[in-house]
Chains A and B, each alone.
Chain A
Amino acid sequence: MVNEERIRISPDAAKEIQENSETLEGAMPPQESSSAGADKAGVGSREQEKEKQKQEYNEYVKQVTPTKNLWWQMCKAFIVGGGFCVIGQFILNTCESLGMDKETSGSWASLLLVLLSVILTGLHLYQCLAAWGGAGALVPITGFANSVASPAIEYKSEGQVFGIGVKIFTIAGPVILYGVFTSWLLGVFYWIGIVLGVV
């Protein structure tokens, strides 16, 4: 009860606060004067003004914040991502020329790419590659390996269980969870298709 009393601000007091609080907020571009005459308008219009000011500032921030050149970023991503694909294809071809079937060769390609990524992560090289190549390093399987290896390195100091054990999937976790969930969902649709005789 006591708190309630203290928090409640009478319309007059609100108006007074509004008038007295000459602050930086006045620095933003002038706002259209709202229905200031009304008793309750004090608190309401102030809220509105604040919202408007936030919006205007955010638009300003958008203008002054530099962004990277999209085309150049895509070009770099293509080079790095393409590089990983070339390595993958090389492994695949080598395995096939050694007489392995397509599936086994594919497994070897994934396995070796993951190993390569983890080693590069440990040597602080993958981060540099990703800083330059962006999504080109993030999207392939090597990026996934990096997202698992990097927390393992970072949280090692917090112990095997609560450090590595708990936090190893902090970045990859969502991918695994929603990946599994989406596969399950597709499975359900597939099953419904079979039952209805569509598939």
Chain B
Amino acid sequence: MKKSMFEVGRSSVNLPMPAYISGCGCIAGSKEAQGPIADEIDSLSTDDKFGMDSWEAAESYLQKEAVRIVLEKSGADKKEIRYMFAGDLLGQSIASSFGLLDYEIPHFGLYGACSTCGESLSLGAMTIGTGLASKVVCVTSSHFASAEKEFRFPLEYGAQRPKASTWTVTGSGAFLLMGERTTAALAKITGITTGRIIDFGVKDNANMGCAMAPAAADTIWQHLEDFGRAPQDYDRIITGDLGQIGSRALYDLLKAKGIEIEDRHMDCGTTIFDIEEQEVGSGGSGCGCAAVTLAAHILPRIKSGEWQRVLFLPTGALLSKTSFNEGLAVPGIAHAVVLEHV
């Protein structure tokens, strides 16, 4: 069978006409404001409800605000945006639906758990790279309190957090993708490897790093295989929210396959929080974790040329309260995008 001009290997896409990330905006809450990358985040609040009545409304506000910031920073008008690729962690993705309602931009609602940032950037870049649109916005968010409510216990319930657990980031990141190269371009997306759903039978919902590590390892392995590259071709290989323990598992899984990434690996979950000081368990997590870290910390380094090529792969744990209660394992997924210096 003849492959299309974009298909590479088994699950990757090559974009000869790259998608330029022309702008980004991010906003985060009070805990992130005490974290190591706080200075780089566009907007911070000490009020985790952001003046809203409920946690869900607060998360909607995060998305609305992130998109407002990216549009303002890049001077783009909302009417120029062809599509919006958005997602969050709440049931039926209500944070995106309600938060982005007022923009009246053609909308694709996505769910890939914490990997949604990678999923939205992949789809956005595919749309741009194949010429279907000239400007799209990709936005994802998560909120600690709404995620606790959705997946765990009420916030004030006296439960102890296991050491392997992760702390959902309260924040949102939005990215403007364009087909046209401008001077403002922060980076370009030149390749995509779409993750598969990988189940290694981990049933512990408090150890999502280890549940997602096999998916991350699979996507990295598949990516290197598809593009015929080695880890040395990247300045950084950045996972979304494996945390300290999940990262360990990732190294070991890849080592068994003869791939060494430890020297160039970075995890957004252990970057956005100081895991020694902030009592976040194994690290940060959530759609907002990868999105905020990408916007605040990673893109500026690619723009400056400090990093020439980065593999960015947000990781997601595909579970719900129901699947967990019914005794199902926690499958993982990881979507990779190649970010390059312009």
Q: Which residues of A contact B (CB under 8 A)?
A: 23-24, 26-29, 53-55, 57-58, 60-61, 64-68, 121-122, 124, 126-127, 129-131, 134, 137-138, 143, 146-147, 149-151, 153-155, 157, 170-171
Please choose the segment from B60-68, B84-92, B250-258, B306-314 that sits at the chain A interface, where 4 or more of its residues have CB less than 8 A away.
B250-258
Smallest beta-carbon distance B168→chain A, Å: 15
Q: Which of A26, A127, A143 has the most chain B CB atoms inside 10 A of its CB?
A: A127
Q: Contact: A57 with B161, CB < 8 Å? A: no
State whether A65 and B207 are in contact (beta carbons under 8 Å apart), knowing that A126-B158, A129-B158 are contacts in the complex: yes
Smallest beta-carbon distance A6→chain B, Å: 19
Smallest beta-carbon distance B222→chain A, Å: 8
Q: Which of B153, B217, B222, B248 has the most chain A CB atoms inside 10 A of its CB?
A: B153
Residue from B157, B204, B221, B222 within 8 A of A150 (CB atoms): B157
Q: Contact: B158 with A24, CB < 8 Å? A: no
State whether A121 and B221 are in contact (beta carbons under 8 Å apart), knowing that A54-B201, A65-B164, A65-B245 are contacts in the complex: no
10 further contact pairs, Cβ within 8 A, besides A54-B329, A61-B207, A157-B54: A27-B253, A66-B245, A67-B162, A127-B155, A130-B157, A143-B158, A149-B156, A150-B155, A150-B156, A150-B158
CB closest residue in chain A, given B252: A60
Chain B stretch 144-174: residues in CB contact (< 8 A) with chain A: 149, 153-164
CB closest residue in chain B, given A134: B160
When chains A and B are docked, how far (Å) is the Cα of A24 from the Cα of B332? 14
What's the dominant secondary structure at chain B's contact region? loop
When chains A and B are docked, how far (Å) is the Cα of A137 from the Cα of B207? 24
Q: Contact: A131 with B156, CB < 8 Å? A: no
When chains A and B are docked, how far (Å) is the Cα of A142 from the Cα of B248? 39
CB of B17 within 8 Å of the partner chain: no
Interface residues of B, CB < 8 Å — how many? 39
Q: What are the nearest 3 A-B pairs in CB distance?
A: A130-B158, A54-B201, A154-B154
Smallest beta-carbon distance B125→chain A, Å: 24
- Chain A residues in 8 Å Cβ range of B159: 130
Smallest beta-carbon distance B312→chain A, Å: 19
CB of B214 within 8 Å of the partner chain: yes
Q: Contact: A155 with B154, CB < 8 Å? A: yes
Q: Contact: A154 with B257, CB < 8 Å? A: no
Q: Which of B158, B202, B204 has the most chain A CB atoms inside 10 A of its CB?
A: B158
Q: Contact: B200 with A146, CB < 8 Å? A: no
Q: Contact: A24 with B198, CB < 8 Å? A: yes
Smallest beta-carbon distance B111→chain A, Å: 22
Q: Contact: B221 with A27, CB < 8 Å? A: yes
CB of B249 within 8 Å of the partner chain: yes
Q: Contact: A153 with B210, CB < 8 Å? A: no
